[in-house]
Amino acid sequence: MIKTYYYNYEDDSMYHDVDLHNCDQLLENPNSLLWIDLYECSAEELHYIGKLFDFHPLALEDCLQQSPRAKLDKYDDYYFFVFHALRYFEDAKEEDEITSIELDVFMGQNYLVTIHPVALSAVGKIARISLRETEVMNRNPEYLMYRIIDNIVDDCFPIIERLGERIDDLEDNIFLSRGQEITEEILALKRTVILLRKVLIPQRRIFSNINGHYSFFVNEENRPYYLDLVDNLDNILDTANTYRDLVNSSTETYYSIINGRTSEIITVLTMISIIMMPLTVITGFFGMNVPLPGADNPHYLWFISLSMIAVALGMVGFFRYRKWI
């Protein structure tokens, strides 16, 4: 599906679903801005847009494939970006709790092309604003891209906040309960934090050195916005690093508690086994099918029972004296 949004600088107005066959006329004025948004698009629609703007085949190939990391490629008259948005479903299966959705962006002098496999809320918010007013598109494509990426970053803050709550609950529960649920929660949190860092670290590198040799040129009027974007990314990544350390610490604490409980259980079972060993010897000795002295005594059973109790109590007292139990 192809959606188009066009800001006409001459009459300061917005147009939607414009005819792309007149693309050259739309881009004649360098102060106008054309935004083309493609989602759930076919390869034919993508190549149609690529032919329209003469995009490099390698860039179009990247759009058709899933790129694992964010990146920036500079071509003669446009930039090609690969970003990733996060989608968080806590109630989903663990392997699908958090997923990344690729967003490919072509940015030229007065146009922006965004490509994503499914509808993105970060893009949808800007599209809805553009349907009503010229606030976003009356500047330049740099600012339009900033607003989209800023929404992607803002969507990470609720995820970070929820992860903090889950880690707090985990720290409380590891002392109260044990079992498969705690282990599954630890693994789910680790996967979520790892994917969060895997997505955001490369994106931060793109914006951390704007106007530098390995980045892209940003007009002076837009620099404060991108610097603020870097600050938000830094805050999220710092928090993610803290959460990673907390989860690792909780994991070590949890397994230490499990090992301690296991040691206690093994100690108790060992004590029981050791106490039972002499009792087994006594019952085995007096249970032999041969005549034994005193076997005819009517109190024979009580003597044996009292001796077994005395041995057991003596061993328990010895263990307590040595502070083994």
What's the farthest any 2 CA atoms get from each other in the chain?
122
- Separation between Cα atoms, residue 124 and residue 151, nearest integer Å: 10
- Give the number of other CB atoms < 10 A from CB of residue 291: 7
Q: Report whether 39 contacts 1 (CB < 8 A).
A: yes
Q: Indicate yes or no: pTM above 0.75.
A: yes
Instruction: State which residues of the chain have pLDDT below 70.
Output: 91-96, 177-179, 210-215, 290, 294-295
Amino acid at residue number 4: T
Beta-carbon contacts of 122 under 8 Å, excluding residues fewer than 6 positions away, are 85, 103, 148, 149, 151, 152, 154, 155
User: Which pLDDT belongs to residue 211?
Assistant: 59
Please report, for residues 60, 111, 141, 307, the alpha-carbon distance to residue 55 in angstroms, rounded to integers and kept in the order given: 7, 13, 17, 95
User: Which tokens go with 101?
Assistant: 């959705």
**Domain ranges in the chain?**
1-137
Q: Report whether 94 contacts 17 (CB < 8 A).
A: no
Helix segments in 155-179, DSSP class H? 156-173
User: Which pLDDT belongs to residue 20?
Assistant: 84
- Separation between Cα atoms, residue 253 and residue 174, nearest integer Å: 8
- Separation between Cα atoms, residue 74 and residue 222, nearest integer Å: 19
pLDDT digits (tens, 9 = 90+) for 67-113: 878 888 888 889 999 999 998 887 665 556 888 899 999 999 889 99
Amino acid at residue number 27: L
User: Which pLDDT belongs to residue 210?
Assistant: 65
- Separation between Cα atoms, residue 45 and residue 104, nearest integer Å: 15
Q: Listing from the earlier edge strand, what are the strands of the sheet with 111-116?
A: 13-16, 2-8, 33-39, 111-116, 98-107, 79-88, 71-74
pLDDT digits (tens, 9 = 90+) for 168-189: 888 888 877 666 788 888 888 8
pLDDT digits (tens, 9 = 90+) for 300-320: 778 888 888 888 888 888 888
User: Which tokens go with 143?
Assistant: 């600012």
User: Which pLDDT belongs to residue 239?
Assistant: 93
Going by CATH, does the domain composed of 1-137 fall within 3.40.630.30? no
